[in-house]
Amino acid sequence: MLLFVTRRVGTMALTMIVVSILLFILLELTPGNVATKVLGPYSSEEQRRLWLEAHGYFDPIHIRYFRWLGDFIIGNFGESTRFKVPVGDVLWPRLWNTAILGFAVMVVVVPLSLTLGVLAGMKEGSKLDRSISVGSIVFTSIPEFASAVLLSAIFVFYLGLLPGTSGMASGFDLAQLVLPVMVLVLYDFGYVARMTRASMAEVMLTNYIRTAVLKGLPYRSVILKHALRNALIAPFTVIMLQINWLLSGVIVVEFFFAYKGFGALLLEASLNQDIFLIEACAMVAVFVAVGTQFAADVGYTYLNPRIRFS
Amino acid sequence: MAEQTVSMPKPPSKAWRMFRSIGLLRESPVGIVGVAIIVFWAVLALFADVLAPYPPNATISPMMFPGDTDASGNMFLLGTDHLGRDILSRIIHGSRRVLILAPLATLCAYIVGIPMGLAAGYLRGRWDDVLSFIANVILSFPVLVLYVIIIATIGASAVNILIAITFASAPGIMRIVRGLVLDLRNREYVAAAQTRGESGLYIMFIEILPNARGPIIVDACLRLGYVIITIGVLGFLGLGLPPPDPDWGGMINETRQLAMTFPHMAVFPCIAISSLVLGFNLVADGLREISLRD
């Protein structure tokens, strides 16, 4: 187990390093661009040269990369040109807001999609199974921005029940969280439900379930005691990997509802060419994605005794 | 697909095989609905000039609700937008852009991803290690984060959107193809070709690839749906193709500020995108169902 975990941590670190190199090449390869982005398009040639010199941009590229990486690891991300404050000052509060949103989504998605998936997978090919499957296809086909528009047309325009923006201008407001959560849930639950269904359907065909049914156990206890325990291992991984999707989804949802979160921040940084903020956001996003994947792998091996650590 | 173990001397033509696999969808009601939706949009895109009641960029009467008639007697079935352009005509013309760009981008991704997957799965060894690692790195980015960074850095144009989609989708395709090849490379017909002394390229592209086509086609349908969503999202975030030509995602972006008072401006393009994506997803589901049955 220890060897397995160490190896996974190693791969994770290597991935992060390659990602950082990619980002560095994409954004910082030409120092002239960096200076223009930091100082603005109206800065003079002389100003840019002085800035580049002061920040060591005339050093060879590998020295620049390692210095950049070192700063990154100790949390020194540089200054945001958009917000005129250190990147960390805007990044962490925004990330916290997104964590709240993501947590709320998970609280709804996990029970909902597991229940639907188990119900559909219990009797493969039944009417309930078909309707749950088709229903989940329909919901995954509606992109987040479309459901955001459609749901706000219904709940904000026609019914007037919910606020249309989620800026949280006057403190935290649960009502403002409802629509963003709803949009993300609608897009995400279908996939998890289908994966749970597949896993459940597979378990229902195994011999030990057949034995349990044949020895006359009540159907309820076959499902609850024997099937569920094994059927829910695979969806665990799927749910962990959903977090990667969620990070994409929050960009759209936070942009639409003006929610002050990480996704909106990344978009704002990109649109304004706020180079250090883009770098920090991208690294955080990848770190979260790789980290959850790691947690998913370790958790899966832990939950599934059949997998041996090789 | 998998049971075809001997390579036929003269396989049926590509067009016939395509036709036959679409014909197979008859057995899946869900798939037929999907095909119907796609055909519906394809017809609209093909005959956009005839079917659209007004020119897509013409300013006629602003802020008309669906079904309204303006002072000079123009009727707007789906209303007009804030600049007075007919929404129905813009949706019909916008379908052209999606139906050209999305399949093209998907095709590019497959052109890059398939050889990568073939090489990783057939050659194994170092090829596999390197290609799989590259794929893992790219796939560790949340997709949209990757798109936003790429497009914001290299700029929004049709070619750049193609590049971004290829870059972000090819690793996923590579993984799928690799998995299929790992299964197929031990078949007798591959061993036969190796004994005949065929080159690696021949075996990968002529022997293995055609036999892996089933799952690849299903994946391509799903992926087309995702690419349509991606193009829509980029337009919606303001990173899509520049105005004024109609773009579904862009239409939503331009009018979303007004969504609280004139929801129809954004709602109809949303329905258009969702229905087209649904079409491809239903076809994929139908094809998968049929291939599992065999």
Residues A145 and A292 both lie in one domain: yes
Residues A206 and A248 both lie in one domain: yes
Residues A176 and A69 both lie in one domain: no
The pLDDT value recorded for residue B15 is 66
Tell which wins on pLDDT, A273 or B103: B103
Domain hosting A265: range is 88-304
Give per-residue pLDDT as tens, B204-228.
998 899 888 888 988 898 899 999 9
Q: Is B132 on the interface with A (CB under 8 A)?
A: no
Chain B, nearest residue to A293 by Cα:
B140
The model's pTM: 0.85
Taking each helix axis from N to C end, the angle separating A144-152 and B248-255, rounded to the nearest 10 degrees, works out to 40
Interface touch B267/A251, C-beta < 8 Å:
no
In the three-class reduction of DSSP (H, G, I as helix; E, B as strand; rest coil), residue A121 is classed as helix
CATH of the domain at A291: 1.10.3720.10
Q: Taking the mean position of all CA atoms in its chain, how far away is CA B11?
A: 27
Contacts 24+ apart (CB under 8 A), B118-125: B118/B177, B118/B181, B118/B204, B118/B205, B118/B208, B118/B209, B119/B204, B120/B174, B120/B178, B120/B181, B121/B177, B121/B178, B121/B179, B121/B180, B121/B181, B121/B182, B121/B185, B122/B181, B122/B185, B122/B200, B122/B203, B122/B204, B122/B208, B123/B200
Give per-residue pLDDT as tens, B249-278.
888 888 887 777 788 888 899 999 999 999
Residues A106 and A158 both lie in one domain: yes
Last residue of a domain, one of A17, A39, A73: A73
Residue with tokens 């639907």: A116
- Domains identified in chain A, total number: 2
Residues A265 and A156 both lie in one domain: yes
Chain B, nearest residue to A125 by Cα:
B289
Residues A96 and A195 both lie in one domain: yes
Q: Please provide residue A33's backbone torsions phi and psi, each rounded to the nearest 5 degrees.
A: -60, -45
Report the distance separating Cα B281 and Cα B181, nearest Å. 24
Interface touch B137/A19, C-beta < 8 Å:
yes
The arithmetic mean of pLDDT across residues B42-64, rounded, is 82
The pLDDT value recorded for residue A131 is 87
* Token output for B73: 């007697």
The pLDDT value recorded for residue A45 is 78
Taking each helix axis from N to C end, the angle separating B158-184 and B213-236, rounded to the nearest 10 degrees, works out to 160
Evaluated on CA atoms A36, A38, A42, A45, the torsion sign reads negative
Residue type, B180: L
Report the distance separating Cα A235 and Cα A231, nearest Å. 8
Which candidate from B30, B225, B263 shows the least CB-CB separation from A141?
A: B225
Is residue A229 domain-resident?
A: yes
* Token output for A262: 């990480």
In this prediction the ipTM stands at 0.82
Tell which wins on pLDDT, B108 or A276: B108
pLDDT band at B39 (very low <50, low <70, confident <90, very high): very high
Residue with tokens 């006359």: A216
Is residue A234 domain-resident?
A: yes
Residues A142 and A238 both lie in one domain: yes
Is residue A21 domain-resident?
A: yes
Residue type, B114: I
Taking phi first (over 0 means left), then psi (-120 to 50 degrees means alpha), and beta for anything else, what does residue A162 get? beta
Cis-peptide into B244, omega within 30 deg: yes
Last residue of a domain, one of A18, A38, A73: A73
Interface touch A270/B152, C-beta < 8 Å:
yes
Is residue A124 domain-resident?
A: yes
Mutate to test the interface with B, among A15, A24, A141 (most CBs of B within 10 A): A141
pLDDT along chain A (310 residues), means of 10: 84 88 80 74 79 77 83 80 81 90 92 89 83 85 89 84 74 81 89 87 86 86 82 83 84 89 89 84 88 84 64
- How close is the nearest chain A Cα to the Cα of B227, in Å? 11
Interface touch A143/B277, C-beta < 8 Å:
yes
The pLDDT value recorded for residue A305 is 67
Evaluated on CA atoms A67, A69, A72, A73, the torsion sign reads negative
Residues A10 and A113 both lie in one domain: no
Residues A133 and A273 both lie in one domain: yes
> Residues 150..169 of B with a Cβ closer than 8 Å to A: which?
150-153
Which candidate from B261, B273, B282 shows the least CB-CB separation from A137?
A: B282
What's the 3-state SS for B250-287? HHHHHHHHHCCCCCHHHHHHHHHHHHHHHHHHHHHHHH
- Residue of A113, A97, A112, A87 lying closest to A253 (CA atoms): A97
List chain B residues with CB under 8 Å of A27. Answer: 153
List chain A residues with CB under 8 Å of B278. Answer: 137-138, 141-142
The pLDDT value recorded for residue A212 is 86
The residues that bridge with B80 in the sheet, in sequence order, are B86
Residues A202 and A257 both lie in one domain: yes
The pLDDT value recorded for residue B20 is 66
B33 contact partners, CB below 8 Å, separation of at least 6: B279, B282
Last residue of a domain, one of A73, A103, A121: A73
A73 contact partners, CB below 8 Å, separation of at least 6: none
The pLDDT value recorded for residue B5 is 53
Judge whether residue B145 has pLDDT over 70.
yes
Report the distance separating Cα B88 and Cα B81, nearest Å. 10
DSSP B241: S
Which candidate from B143, B153, B239 shows the least CB-CB separation from A248?
A: B143
Is residue A81 domain-resident?
A: no
Interface touch A282/B256, C-beta < 8 Å:
no
Judge whether residue B158 has pLDDT over 90.
no
Residues A99 and A155 both lie in one domain: yes
Mutate to test the interface with B, among A12, A137, A187, A205 (most CBs of B within 10 A): A137
Is residue A80 domain-resident?
A: no
The pLDDT value recorded for residue B1 is 45
Is residue A82 domain-resident?
A: no
Is residue A83 domain-resident?
A: no
Interface touch A140/B281, C-beta < 8 Å:
yes
Residues A161 and A237 both lie in one domain: yes
A244 contact partners, CB below 8 Å, separation of at least 6: A289, A292, A293, B142
Report the distance separating Cα B289 and Cα B294, nearest Å. 9
The lowest-confidence range among A136-140, A306-310, B10-14, B126-130 is A306-310
